Structure 1
Amino acid sequence: MQKITLGILSDKKYIRLVRSTLKEFLKLNNYDNSEEIFMIELAINEAIANIIEHTYNFEEKNNIYLEINLEKNKLTVSIKDEGPKINVDNIKHRDLEDYQDSGLGVFIIKSVFDSIEWIDIDGGNMQILSKTLV
């Protein structure tokens, strides 16, 4: 298994760092499907942006932790925050027909990853996103 861990502040400027790290991690591990890498980057971008907006209310001094694992062809990204507990039932999944000015983050994440799990952990929340790479 190949693994990398990152910790960033809840400032949107660090999302670019996560995307580029993820992209290089996949390339270093001989995965070069550029279209799929882009979609994975987009989904992770949305997951982090949602934490920054909805969990931390754009406060830039909070922590977000990521663990990126690649075992054979299975990618797992765990994203942990230290925010208040979220009620998974309140997470809105809009379809394209219900598109407004925003709110497609969960749709994008669910479209890209095979499974998404939200876990209530001590001191925060965790999302576990898994995908079989082709």
Structure 2
Amino acid sequence: MVSSISLSIDSDLDKVSLLARAVRALCQDLLSSDDQDAVELSLVEAINNVIKHGYHGERGKDVQVAVGLQADQVVIEVIDHAPPMPAQVLDTASEDRFDFDETDLDGIPEGGMGLALIRMNMDEVEYHSSGSENRLRMVKRVVPLSE
């Protein structure tokens, strides 16, 4: 079974949850509830990053999401036409971003937490930029439900 669907929204933060709910619904027959949560969280973080950092909050820009449903994995690509993010940003986004004293408000990291969440919640994360197009590819493997 391989099926795919493409969705797109305007770069409006108010529309992100609608897209996230649609993708979650597409995944519900393949993924456990926890894995659906992980995919939804990762997708919201990725799209918010595009809108806030890539498009600087400007509306009227295109954000596309391609969802590929396969028997063994769900592949989600977030596609935008913002300036590319520096290649090393994804490489440095790790769980270490959450190793801080939450009582020290001045010591809370400024950025990179969204990408770190994505890396923690997805099985594979890749970023490619070519020409004017950026693609963040996220994979969640399907864990067969035990009988």
Are 1:69 and 2:71 matched, yes or no?
A: no
Report percent identity of matched pairs: 22
SS, match of residue 36 in structure 2: helix
Measured after TM superposition, the shift of residue 102 of structure 1 is 5.4
Please tell me the root mean square deviation across aligned C-alpha atoms, in Å.
Answer: 1.7
TM-aligned CA deviation for residue 54 of structure 1 = 0.8
Partner of 2:99: 97
Q: Distance in 1 between matches of 2:14 and 2:109?
A: 21
SS at match of 2:99: helix
Change (3 A) 1:86 1:93: same
Unaligned runs of at least 5 residues, structure 2: 103-107
The 5 Å alignment of 1:1-134 reads: 1-27=2-28, 30-31=29-30, 33-91=32-90, 92-93=92-93, 95=96, 96-98=98-100, 100=108, 103=111, 104-134=113-143
Query: TM-score, with normalisation over the residues of structure 2?
Result: 0.82
Whole-Å Cα distance in 2 between the matches of residues 26 and 74 of structure 1?
10
* 2:12 aligned partner, one-letter code: D
Shift of 1:117: 0.9
Distance 1:20 1:107 in 2: 22
- Count of equivalent residues: 132
Structure-2 change in CA distance of 1:130 and 1:32 (3 Å):
closer
Runs of 4+ with >6 A deviation: none
Deviation at 1:124, TM superposition (A): 2.3
Separation of aligned partners in 2, 1:85 and 1:35: 31
Task: Output the CA distance in 1 between the equivalents of 2:139 and 2:85.
Answer: 20
Consecutive unaligned residues of structure 1, counting only runs of 5 or more, are none
> Aligned equivalents of 1:38 and 1:101: distance in 2?
24
